[in-house]
Amino acid sequence: MRNYVIIFTTCASKKQAAKIAFSLLQKRLIACATIISSVESRFWWKGKIDCAREELLILKTTARNARRVEADIKRIHSYDVPEVVAVPIIAGSREYLKWIDECVKLKAKSAKLKRKV
């Protein structure tokens, strides 16, 4: 089961979360993005405790795609140090995990078709 991960990142705005989600979906790096609006984060930043209202972005993908997802998040994100945390899925319904595979593998199939043309 360790072939799948859930990646968490927080964003400064819903617009930014939607932009990251769309980019990752369009590239077929993830199967699904869930945006949870208006979470409150408390954290250390530049030597003091700070807090912020953020959008929580939950991404479902394969472990194989985790580094590419991270790179895309960092490319788009406005934070100096964006949260990018991947947690392995240790169990899940076969149908759901198969669906994740199908969603992200379509990119590979599309790329093969394009090369043949």
Q: How many domains does the chain have?
A: 1
**Prediction pTM value:** 0.87
State the residue for tokens 């972005």: 57
Q: 90 is in which domain, residue-wise?
A: 4-116
Edge-first strand listing for the sheet containing 32-45: 32-45, 48-62, 4-11, 85-88
**pLDDT > 90 in the chain, percent:** 87
Average pLDDT across the chain, whole number: 91
pLDDT band at 105 (very low <50, low <70, confident <90, very high): confident
Query: What is the CATH number for 82?
Result: 3.30.70.120
- The kind and range of the H/E element at 99 are helix 94-116
pLDDT in tens, 48-71: 999 999 999 999 999 999 999 999
Q: What whole-number distance in Å separates Cα of residue 8 and Cα of residue 34?
A: 10
